[in-house]
Chain A
Amino acid sequence: MALIDSRKVVTGVFTKERPEIAERTLRTDRWWLQPALTFGVLISFVIYATFRAFEKKYYFAEPLISPFYSPCLSTACVEGSTHFGTPIGSITIFGLLISPALFILIFPLGFRMTCYYYRKSYYRAFWMSPPACAVAEPHKKYTGETRAPLILQNGHRWFFYAGLVLNVILTYDAIIAFKNADGQWGHMSVGTLVLLLNASFLWLYSASCHTCRHTIGGRLKNFSKHPLRYKAWTVVSRLNHYHPNFAWVSLFGVAFTDLYIRLVASGAITNFYFF
């Protein structure tokens, strides 16, 4: 009787013509584990990033700058951190000065939010659409990415281009980290290594992106007429296989880099110089 009642209100696997099975799934494996882990990791990152974006301090320790605040473009930035000037000036809302991080984080956030890999992850983990394969989702209606706001996922390539600009800037940050705290070149610290690794992971994440794969050659009909682009496409396709790995490594990399610089800037640890 309960089954008949559920059929009246639920579509999908409980539709009348389908096999009469009461369970939402008959999977016996731990299908819930992966979405649960994804949820935990992503929500932890969001909480940490939000805290850091609004903390507005401990993001610069000459010559290291946190990726959450780079490039620092407002007059609210701490002295020495504005490598590219202060074109934004200072913007306040209700008398509160807006954190310089908010002008920057919108781009990497948009890039990751519209990323084809992260879409799979958070649609499963947060929206349960579906929670796992062959596990009935709880929603009564589904329109996918055909309407606002999800139709905006089609703007992934614009965030990809913005991400490339940020990668260049973060690479610049890693290069100037070969200075010491007095501004002299030819030195290298643990911070230099951290920034270099962070920039490398971000480049790998961008280079393995599906939009990169499409832009560099995937959109062509005739590879034989474009041998260089075909070669580039094959390289990006190989990287694309590891895109999920790069997505997670670069996410952890950004958080670790920021944490390291926070610890140095707050005086909790000293940035050790190799030479």
Chain B
Amino acid sequence: MSKKINLRIWRGDVNSGKLEDVVVEANEGEVVLDVIHRVQATQMGDLAVRWNCKAGKCGSCSMEINGKPRLACMTQVANFNEDETITITPLRAFPVIKDLVTDVSFNYKKAMEIEAFSPPADLKPGQARMQQIDVERSQEFRKCIECFLCQDTCHVIRDHEENKKSFAGPRFFIRIAELDMHPLDMLKNRKKKAQEEHGLGMCNITKCCTEVCPEHIKITDNAIIPMKERVVDVKYDPVRWLGSKIRKREGIV
């Protein structure tokens, strides 16, 4: 059973743009990406949209639907009222390229700034042994599909372009946490670098990254706050710091 729905789609490029109204058919069970494709096929042949898997696993079709950062392939049309106009815009934290496609290269630059996994120097290939309970915290963060919805909604860069220089963003805080919690990661000063080079201290815990994550990673509770506490261990807790000097304590490198 199909019905007509009202869409407002942002059309434009880096110079200018505007929201354009369109009425399109939607079938039962379809998602927003389906109706965007129908608009592209029937009414706006040059509409630019990035997509790939249509299964919520590639992170390509990130956009803002009624002002909320979402994956278009995971947003059911049936979730909206029949008389409601669905507004679709590109991600508003990044430079626009065309229509619904934005330039997310900021994120790849930040990814290169994160220090890589550093296993013990004498560990030979095939020798690593660890128990499940030691890696399950890190495994949660490996679910990330790099849709960058968390980066898009984070007000530190969404509302302050100038902070992009000094702030890595929630996606990369979970990467740092993943490594810092890994039993075989030996890099010294990962915590201090998180605070001083990657801008962990700029996060004010408003949890928007957690709210928009399509993989339901508890970014704030399981990554950012634990990393903030680890930073306190090495930078703001003289008792812990003294204890680490008197006798080597685990997890405070």
Contacts and interface: CB of A to CB of B under 8 A. Distances in A.
A116 B236 CA distance: 16
A223 B133 contact: yes
Interface string B218-249: 00110001101111110111000000000000
Interface string B113-137: 0000000000000000011011000
A221 B183 contact: yes
A27 B66 contact: yes
B12 interface: yes
Interface of B: 10, 12, 14, 16-19, 64, 66-69, 84, 87, 89-90, 92-96, 102, 130-131, 133-134, 152-153, 155-156, 158-163, 181-183, 199, 201-208, 211-212, 220-221, 225-226, 228-233, 235-237, 250-252
A222 B64 CA distance: 40
Contacts of B12: 19-20
Given A130-B155, A219-B230, A221-B183, A210 B221 contact: yes
Interface residues of A, number: 54
B160 A142 contact: yes
A223 B251 CA distance: 11
A123 B204 contact: yes
A221 B130 CA distance: 11
Contacts of B102: 19
Given A20-B18, A133-B208, A224-B134, A144 B156 contact: yes
20 contacts: A18-B92, A18-B93, A19-B102, A20-B17, A28-B66, A28-B87, A130-B155, A130-B208, A133-B68, A133-B69, A134-B68, A134-B153, A135-B67, A137-B159, A144-B204, A214-B229, A219-B233, A219-B251, A221-B134, A221-B250
B201 A219 contact: no
Given A11-B162, A146-B202, A157-B237, A19 B133 contact: no
Contact of B96 (A19, A27, A28, A220): A19
A30 interface: no
A130 B12 CA distance: 27
Contacts of B221: 210, 240
B95 A129 contact: no
A221 B159 CA distance: 35
B103 to A, nearest CB: 8
A6 B188 CA distance: 45
A75 interface: no
Contacts of B87: 26, 28
A19 B134 contact: no
A129 B204 contact: yes
A137 B204 CA distance: 13
Given A17-B95, A120-B207, A219-B251, 16 more contacts: A13-B92, A26-B66, A133-B212, A134-B64, A137-B155, A142-B202, A144-B203, A146-B202, A154-B231, A154-B232, A156-B232, A157-B232, A214-B225, A214-B230, A218-B226, A221-B181
A206 B172 CA distance: 29
Contacts of B183: 221-222
A19 B158 contact: no
Given A12-B161, A129-B206, A144-B156, A223 B66 contact: no
A143 interface: yes
A26 B250 contact: no
A180 interface: no
Contacts of A175: none
B189 to A, nearest CB: 15
Given A19-B12, A133-B211, A224-B133, A144 B67 contact: no
Contact of B17 (A19, A155, A219, A230): A19
B232 A130 contact: no
Contacts of A124: 206
Contacts of A139: 159
